[in-house]
Amino acid sequence: MKNTPSRKQLRTEQKAARKQPCAQRLPADISRLVPNNSYGAACKQFYEPVPFRCMDCGKEEIWTARQQKWWYEDCQGSIYSTATRCLPCRIARRQKLAEQRQRTQDGLARKAARTFDVQAFKQEKQRRAQLRRQWRAQQKARQKALEIPASDARG
């Protein structure tokens, strides 16, 4: 009978191996970095794994040298930027931003679809002014009805 580890043991070993920073260093191709308006003091010669804590969930992650090389050289990311979110949080944030963008676009489309009828607006404005004048006239009539004439007061 073979003594093979269970799947659970393999998974825990794999997770532990992922958490350990690998000693892999990759050389940086300085010519492919984005210009940063400096005299080269901040340029990296090598990419090394960098541990970081996700700003959304607080999970400890490692930004590998390969990921850094891709970010700085292929995507032309700023050399002063670092990883701040883990993959699940990045995906969730992108989805949330996409939903907000879609909601904004829908609202703008509804607003553009509405037509503004100047004549109807003027009529509504006149109708409201007429209602205000009628209300004020009613208020004055009520006040006059409540007033006691001076001759009745002496009595």
Residue 54 in contact with residue 89, Cβ under 8 Å?
Answer: yes
Query: What is the model's pLDDT at position 40?
Result: 56
Residue 96 in contact with residue 85, Cβ under 8 Å?
Answer: no
Q: Is the dihedral of CA 78, 82, 87, 91 positive or negative?
A: negative
Give the pLDDT of the chain (155 residues) as one tens digit per residue: 567 888 898 888 877 766 665 558 888 888 888 777 766 556 778 899 999 999 999 999 999 999 999 999 999 888 888 999 999 999 999 999 999 999 999 999 998 888 778 888 899 999 999 999 999 999 999 998 888 766 665 55
Query: What is the model's pLDDT at position 115?
Result: 79
